[in-house]
Amino acid sequence: MSHIVKPVFSYLMFAVDLVRARLLEHVKKVAEAGNPQAVLDAIDQYAHSQEFFMNVGDDKGKILLQEMDKLPAPPKAVLELGTYCGYSTILLAAHLKDPSAKVYTIDICEENVEIAKQMIAHAGLTERVVHVVKPLDQAVQELRAALKSQKADCFEVVFIDHEKSVYLSDLQLLVKEQLIKEGSVVVADNLKIPGAPEYVKWMKQQSDFSFEQHSVCMGPSALWLHDIIGVSVYKPVTAAA
C-alpha cells in the first residue's frame, strides 16, 4: 500500500504548495474578519470542494480540542511544531480559555509563516500567537524564556505536524529539555500518510507515554484515504515513583 500512497501524497503536497496564495485570497473574500470559525470553515470548504489542501480538518481538529479539554486546567502555553498555513494555529488559539495563554508555533519555512500570519490576522488572533522561524533545537532557550514569561512550568499541549522524520527526535528533545512535564498532552498528525514509523514504534514501546491512535478519513479531496492521528499523555515513571 505504501508504494502507492506515498507517491500520491507527494504529488498532493506539491499541488498544495501551488494553492497557498489562492487559498488565502479565498479566505479573505468569504470569511468574516475576526471570526476564527469562519476562517476555519472557509479553509475546509476550499479543501473539500476546490483544490486539495493538506489542513488538519474538522474531524482531526475535534480530537485535538477534546484532548485539550481533558486537561485539569486551561493551558497557558501550547506548542505547535509545523505552522504551515495557520489552520491548526487558529484552531488552537481560538480554543484557549486562559486570557493570557498563547500558542507558540514553529516553522522553518518563511513562506508558510507569511501566509499563516495573514490567515491568523484575518481570524483576529494575532495577539494569541507567537511565531518562531527556526528548528526546535535552535529555539529551546527562546521557548524556555517564553514559558517563564507565561508563568507556565511547561507546554501543556504539543501538536506535532511538521517534518515527519524529526517527529521522534523533536519529542525526545522536548522531554530532555523539560519543556513538557507530567500530564502534558502530545498530539501527532499524519502517522499513516505519509507516516512516521519511528515515532509510532517508539511510542508503542514507552512506559512514560500513553498512546492512542485514531483513524480519520481525509475525505474526497484526498481520495478517501484514511490517516492516523496519535494522542499521548506524558506520564514519566520516575515522576510517579
Domains, in order of start, for the chain:
2-240 (3.40.50.150)
pLDDT higher than threshold 50 for residue 82? yes
| Residues 71, 98 contacting (CB under 8 angstroms) | no
Is residue 11 over pLDDT 50? no
CB 79 within 8 A of CB 130: no
> What are the CA-CA distances from residue 64 to residues 49, 103, 161 (Å)?
24, 14, 12
3 state DSSP class of 176: helix
- Give tens-digit pLDDT for 67-76: 999 999 999 9
Per-residue pLDDT at 205 exceeds 60: yes
User: Looking at 8-12, 23-27, 212-216, which range is the least confident one?
Assistant: 8-12
| Mean pLDDT on 127-154 | 96
Could you tell me the pLDDT band of residue 48, with boundaries at 50, 70 and 90? confident
Residue 123 in contact with residue 34, Cβ under 8 Å? yes
Taking the C-alpha atoms of residue 3 and residue 205, their distance in angstroms, rounded to an integer, is 26
pTM of the model as a whole: 0.89
The pLDDT value given to residue 7: 46
DSSP assignment of 35-65: -HHHHHHHHHHHHHHTS-----HHHHHHHHH
* Measured distance CA(6)–CA(193) in Å, rounded: 7
Distance CA 154, CA 236 (A): 14
b/e 81-91 (16+ beta carbons within 10 angstroms → b): bbbbbbbbbbb
The pLDDT value recorded for residue 4 is 45
Cα separation, 117 vs 125, whole angstroms: 9
The pLDDT value given to residue 239: 53
